[in-house]
Structures are given as C-alpha cells and as structure tokens.
Chains A and B, each alone.
Chain A
Amino acid sequence: MDTARNNNASRRMAYKFVSLSSIVRGSVAFFAGLFLFVTPTLVQSSPQPQSSAPVNISGFWELRYDGRNIPHASLTPAAAKITAAEQAQNTMHVIRWCILSGMPMMMDSGAPIDIEQDSKHIGILAEPVSGPRTIYLDGRKHPDMNLFDNTTIGDSIGHWEGDTLVVDTIGFSDKGVTTIPGGGIRTPDSHLVERYRLEDSGAHLLVTFTWTDPKVFAKPHTYAFRYSRAAPGYRPRDYDCDASNKERADFLEKTPQP
C-alpha cells in the first residue's frame, strides 16, 4: 500500500516535473515564435543607420493654437522704430512673389514641419516656400563667415546636451520674411540658439528659441513652441506658389473693395 502510494506520489511528481518542463519549453517556444513574428515588422519599419544620438526627433510636427509662448522682446531704440506696418509690407512682398521666407517663419508657417534625423545631420522641411534647414551633427564648426553667402535660414550646427538637442545658427541674410515672434527682425548679425527636447514620451516636441543681435535686442529674446506629433500617415501638401498667377497677385496687391 505504502509502496503503491509512493509510486503514485513519484508518478505525480514526475508528471508535475514533466508538465512544468513542458510549460517552460512551450512558453520559450511561444515567445520565440512571437519574437520571429514581431522582429521582421520592427526591422522593416526602422531600416536606418543606428544613430549615437540619445533620442530621435524625426517626424511631422504641428504647432497648435496653444503651442506658442511668446513674450514681448526688449528691443533697442533703433529696432523699436521699425513699425509693424513696415514688417507687414515686407512679408506681403515675400508672399506675393513666392520668395523664400526662411527663418523663423518656416518654423511656424501654418502647416506641420518635417524633421528627419540620421547619425550625421538633421533636415527640417516646411510646406510653404522656404529652403530646407540642415543641422549638422558631425562636430563641425560654422564656416568662415567672410566666405559664407548669408541665407534666410543661416548655417546651423547641433550637439546633444543629455536628451536636449542644442542648435546654433548664424549667417542669416536680411532677405525673406525677417519678422521674429515677439518683436524684432532677423539681420546678418542675428545669432539663434534653439533647444529641442521631446516631452510626454515623444508626443510633443518643445523648442525654445533665443535670439541675440546687438542692433535689435536690448537683451536676448527667448520664446518657445510646443509642437504636437502629427497623426500617423500624414502627408505634406504642395504649396505650389505661382508668382505669375495674375488673379492671386491682384488679390494680394489691391485694396479690397466693399
């Protein structure tokens, strides 16, 4: 009786042991199968060179109605004399003639911006008329400004401070839309420092802009944009600006009649 009980106990133990090992093996096989199932999807969706950057800020980013924190700039007396009407006139000319708008308008142009990042550099593309920005991450310095042809977007170099991308830009021209949010204008003496940081697990991108320019700002002017990640599958539209379109030109140039 005892022997039989012991045998039964041994069988139960053996059965439990076999069952446990089956469960372990089955679980390993299940997760291995799951891994095989999921892995190709991951590989397909991210076939880019690995970046040493701490985060990747790539994607389409849109600025919503509550995404701007823009205090008034402290302007020099000379810059304060530039009237809003004069700036508006310049902006209208740029829009009328489909001229490159440049910085900082392209960062808030009414449509999402596309930021794409790889291990060497970052590109920022806007939908309305503007050249793309290139932010070099390869450790280079700014080129010799005596040889550089100033542009509406300037020359940008970036580096990471923890999880924050710091971008330094000089070499601006006075062409395009020069108005700076909060007051002041972009000039060839402008110096811009931007700080990009992902928030809310990548749902938002906080960018602070700090402009310095001894002829324009009495003290550095800082404002912030908080971009929201655009919906998956977003497609940029073609701005298709046509300066030769007479109807469009008349609309923009002539005073509206009641």
Chain B
Amino acid sequence: MTNRFWLKAFGTAVIFACLLSALGHRAIARQAPASEPSATAGTIPDISGSWEPRADGRGRGAPAKLTPEAMERAQKRRDALATGDSGVTEVARWCGALAFPFYLTSSPPWDIIVGPKEIVVLAERQEASRHIFMDGRNHPDADRLEITANGDSVGHWEGDTLVVDTIGLRGGIDTTGTYRGPHQHLIERYRLLDQNRLSLTLTWEDPDVYAEPYTTQRVYYRSDPSIYAMEDWCDASDESQWRSDAAPLPPATKSH
C-alpha cells in the first residue's frame, strides 16, 4: 500500500514536471521573442568576414524628413563650405573617435566577428570598432547609460536577420559635419542577400534631426578573402597633416 502510494505520487510528479517544462518552454518563447531561434537555428547566416561598400550599394530609400532646425543647420553647413570652410571638423582635426556610423559610409572594409555571446565589428578607422552584445542583456538603465561615440548595442536574430538596437550615441557635429542629437535610437537589420552581398537597413530616430524615423538601405559586398586589416594612422600632434599650406603642391610644368 505504501509502495503504491509513493509510486502514484512519483507518477503525478513526473506528469507535473513535464507540464511545467512544456509551459516553461512556451513561456520563454513568449517572453523573449527577441532571442527566439529562427528556423535556421544552428545554421545562422554566415555574416563573418570583411564587407565593403561599392558605388551601387549606397543609400536606397526615401530622403530623410528633417526638422526645421536641422534644415537650417544643413544650410549653414553648405554655406560655410561654399565660402571657404575646409570641411575639416574638430573631430577629424584632433583625431577623435570616428563615431558610429562613420565606418559604414567610409570606403575601407569593416570586419564582422561572430563570437558565442557577442558580435564585434572591427573598423580600421580610429576608435570605430563596436561591441554588439548577443547574450540577451538589455541596455543599461537611463541613469547608468554612458553616452559614447559608438553607443550601446544589443542584438538578436529574427530568422535570418540580425537586428541590432543602439542607444547612447553621443550627439554633436560628427566627422562628416553632420549634426546628431543627444537622443538617438538606431535599429540596424543585417541580412545576407547571397553569400557575397549583405543588406543593411538602418532606421534612425533622432527627434533633434529627423521629423520622422529615417530608414535607408545599403548593400555591402564581401571583400576578397585575401584582404587584411590595415591601420588608419592619425597623429594630431603632426600639424602638417591638417595645414594645406604646409606642403604646397609643386607648380604644374606640363604644357599642352
């Protein structure tokens, strides 16, 4: 009798354990859709490697709708460039961090490394490399969020698409002379079009610049496998780098 009781109790416990397991499984799937494995789980698209822009892969999508203040700033910038401004920004002059997304618009390739819990993007340009955390962590709370050149990025896979969410990007005038506000929010969606082309859709929220979220699409090409990393050397103590009159071009001698 005692044995029978314990056997029944054990059987009931097993059934409850199975039910709880199944419920737990479904609960995880519901609570963390961001981390839900795709149908290709275990065969995540191979985005590892160097990617480079080409002429036909830039800026598809409707033009950004700017706020009136942003339009005014852009016009001032154009006027300054038209009246002799060299276009060299403070960040560039002082070899400062080439804040995100500079490397996306720059010509050198950038390199994706897919670690177990983190994806890193290595960029040759100064201080441009990024950490994208894939371990399920959230962004830090607002009072602990450090505002940085490359922001705080967390990512997850949605099927075959890598989705990266970034906040904490520093505002101000960036390397290209573009103003960025202090409350940017960027979502990147990376998807392989084929083994040699990577589509990137950026959706940018910046209430100080864009009247509505700005979405643009770019396509990057896989670099030749023999390509290797180089170093973008910048020495702010070397003024000759920045003074156009320091090394004047020799006069033309060729006659036609």
Binding site for B on A (CB under 8 A): 15, 19, 22-23, 26-27, 29-30, 32-34, 36-37, 40-41, 43-49, 56, 58-59, 93, 96-100, 114, 116-123, 125, 129, 131-132, 134, 136, 138, 140, 143, 149, 151-153, 155, 173, 175, 233, 235-244
Contact = CB atoms under 8 A, between A and B. Distances in A.
A175 B157 CA distance: 40
A125 B236 contact: no
A31 B86 CA distance: 69
Given A40-B36, A49-B46, 14 more contacts: A26-B15, A29-B14, A33-B18, A36-B22, A37-B28, A44-B32, A46-B117, A97-B237, A98-B236, A114-B120, A131-B229, A132-B122, A136-B228, A151-B230
B208 interface: no
B48 A134 contact: no
Contact of B113 (A19, A123, A236): A123
17 contacts: A36-B21, A37-B24, A43-B41, A45-B136, A46-B117, A47-B134, A100-B126, A114-B118, A114-B120, A116-B113, A131-B232, A132-B122, A153-B231, A233-B135, A235-B152, A238-B149, A244-B236
Interface of B: 4, 7, 10-11, 14-15, 17-22, 24-25, 28-29, 32, 35-37, 41-42, 44, 46, 48-49, 90, 93-97, 111, 113-120, 122-124, 126-127, 129, 131, 133-137, 140, 146, 148-150, 152, 157, 225-226, 228-237
Contacts of B126: 100, 129, 131
Contact of B157 (A23, A47, A143): A47
Contact of B48 (A49, A151, A153, A175): A49
A27 B15 CA distance: 10
B228 A237 contact: no
Given A118-B115, A238-B149, A175 B18 contact: no
B225 A244 contact: no
Given A45-B117, A49-B114, A121-B113, A26 B122 contact: no
Contacts, number: 189
B180 to A, nearest CB: 16
Contacts of A140: 226
A123 B96 contact: no
Nearest to B228: A143
Contacts of B228: 134, 136, 143, 155
B95 A98 contact: yes
A34 B21 contact: yes
A40 B25 contact: yes
B197 to A, nearest CB: 18
A30 B231 contact: no
A175 B137 CA distance: 38
A98 B44 CA distance: 38
Contacts of B237: 93, 96-97, 99, 243
